[in-house]
């Protein structure tokens, strides 16, 4: 037996039908959080030891130069986990799920590490400043350190007491080949003469000691270490002003590497959770206080 429908019940049914229609037709991603957690989960799952494709399955191969200088490394042994960059490398490895025993090191010269072509490493850490020119040949992770350049000299050098960039214009300056230290000479100091170029900092130190150059330009932490432990009677003349975009160090990967996104995520996580700041305080605390050359 069919019952007669009252006006009130008919209205209720019509409203219910309309609500059902709107619900069925509504877009499912109006809530910005819908799918976001899934995407984050997918990214996290893709950045694990089990899912990453590295040069050697189950291992992470990290490159750096020979020799590896302090305070970035300790005793030229990157595998000991001591020194700022060694500690950063192992922290990144840990974020990706690699235990210290899963990490292997290979030695690659600075210039070869950033040259085009296949790489002998999964990523390389060696005070590589992130630049657009270098991005043409390699990938970079997100930055793990904000760096300044500095000038060091023997106490007997004519520039030892320099206070301004103008005081350096007549000096013979040098830097390692292919570095931003060299570019700091040409673009920031702009001396009258061309800077001398060296294959590595050991050669540059010898030139400084024998008077071939008046001053050496390098990153500030290395400047502190050299003047404190390697070069007797030497001083930090001063740090150079920051010009343009702040100079930042990044990990270097092969161009188009499938690891770039995951390595960058690991570096970013280490910055957010305070690990990078803690490691900087531990290994690079001495860099504060160098005078500015104006």
- What's the CATH code of the domain at 191? 3.40.190.10
Please say whether the beta carbons of 77 and 138 come within 8 A: no
Q: Are residues 138 and 85 in the same domain?
A: yes
Total domains in the fold of the chain? 2
Tell me the C-alpha distance between 75 and 153, whole Å: 24
Q: Are residues 57 and 122 in the same domain?
A: yes
pLDDT by residue (tens digit) across 120-147?
999 999 999 999 999 999 999 999 999 9
The pTM for the full model equals: 0.73
Closest by CA to 106, choosing from 88, 79, 137, is 79
Confidence at residue 35, expressed as pLDDT on a 0 to 100 scale: 35
Residue whose token pair is 């130190």: 205
Domain containing 228 equals 149-239
User: Has residue 186 got a pLDDT over 80?
Assistant: yes
Q: Are residues 101 and 158 in the same domain?
A: no
Q: Are residues 139 and 259 in the same domain?
A: yes
Confidence at residue 30, expressed as pLDDT on a 0 to 100 scale: 39
190 occurs within a structural domain:
yes
Confidence at residue 242, expressed as pLDDT on a 0 to 100 scale: 82
Residue with the larger pLDDT of the pair 218 and 33: 218
Kindly give, in sequence order, each residue whose CB lies less than 8 Å from that of residue 107, ignoring residues fewer than 6 positions away.
63, 64, 65, 66
Confidence at residue 245, expressed as pLDDT on a 0 to 100 scale: 77
Tokens of 238: 């001063």
Tell me the C-alpha distance between 281 and 275, whole Å: 10
User: Has residue 29 got a pLDDT over 50?
Assistant: no
20 occurs within a structural domain:
no
Tell me the C-alpha distance between 58 and 49, whole Å: 7
Please say whether the beta carbons of 172 and 189 come within 8 A: no
Tell me the C-alpha distance between 185 and 182, whole Å: 5
Tell me the pairing of strands 149-154 and 173-176: unpaired
Tell me the C-alpha distance between 4 and 252, whole Å: 78
The mean predicted confidence, pLDDT, of the chain is 86
User: Has residue 40 got a pLDDT over 80?
Assistant: no
Q: Are residues 132 and 276 in the same domain?
A: yes
Tell me the C-alpha distance between 230 and 278, whole Å: 26
Where is 281: in which H helix or E strand?
helix 275-284
Kindly give, in sequence order, each residue whose CB lies less than 8 Å from that of residue 85, ignoring residues fewer than 6 positions away.
64, 68, 72, 73, 78, 125, 126, 127
User: Has residue 263 got a pLDDT over 90?
Assistant: yes
Q: What is the pLDDT averaged over residues 53-73? A: 96
Confidence at residue 287, expressed as pLDDT on a 0 to 100 scale: 67
Distances (CA, A) of 86 to 58, 79, 171: 20, 7, 35
Q: Are residues 121 and 233 in the same domain?
A: no
Q: What is the pLDDT averaged over residues 20-32? A: 35
Q: What percent of the chain has pLDDT over 90?
A: 76
Q: Are residues 201 and 269 in the same domain?
A: no
Q: Helix count (H) and strand count (E) of the chain?
A: 10, 10
74 occurs within a structural domain:
yes
Q: What is the pLDDT averaged over residues 15-41? A: 36
Q: Are residues 72 and 207 in the same domain?
A: no
pLDDT by residue (tens digit) across 196-240?
999 998 999 999 999 999 999 999 999 999 999 999 999 999 999
Q: Of 194-208, 249-263, 274-288, give the lowest mean pLDDT range.
A: 274-288
Q: Are residues 276 and 221 in the same domain?
A: no
């Amino acid at each position: 037996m069919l019952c007669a429908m009252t006006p009130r019940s008919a209205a209720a049914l019509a409203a219910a039908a309309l609500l059902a229609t709107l619900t069925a037709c509504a877009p499912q991603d109006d809530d910005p959080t819908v799918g976001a957690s899934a995407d984050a989960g997918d990214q996290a799952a893709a950045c694990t030891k089990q899912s990453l494709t590295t040069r050697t399955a189950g291992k992470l191969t990290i490159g750096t130069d020979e020799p590896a200088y302090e305070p970035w490394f300790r005793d030229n042994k990157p595998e000991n986990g001591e020194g700022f960059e060694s500690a950063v490398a192992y922290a990144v490895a840990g974020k990706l799920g690699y235990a210290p025993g899963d990490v292997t090191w290979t030695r690659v010269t600075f210039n070869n590490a950033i040259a085009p072509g296949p790489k002998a490493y999964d990523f390389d850490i060696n005070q590589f400043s992130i630049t657009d020119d270098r991005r043409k040949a390699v990938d970079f992770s997100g930055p793990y350190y904000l760096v300044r350049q500095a000038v060091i000299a023997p106490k007997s050098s004519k520039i030892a007491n320099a206070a301004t960039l103008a005081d350096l214009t007549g000096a013979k300056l040098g830097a390692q080949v292919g570095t931003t230290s060299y570019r700091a000479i040409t673009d920031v100091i702009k001396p009258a003469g061309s800077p001398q170029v060296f294959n590595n900092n050991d050669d540059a130190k010898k030139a400084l000691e024998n008077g071939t150059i008046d001053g050496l330009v390098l990153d500030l932490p290395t400047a502190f270490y050299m003047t404190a432990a390697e070069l007797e009677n030497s001083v930090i003349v001063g740090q150079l002003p920051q010009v343009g975009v702040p100079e930042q160090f990044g990990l270097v990967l092969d161009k188009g590497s499938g690891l770039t996104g995951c390595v960058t995520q690991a570096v970013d996580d280490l910055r957010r959770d305070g690990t990078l700041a803690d490691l900087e305080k531990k290994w690079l605390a001495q860099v504060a206080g160098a005078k500015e050359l104006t």
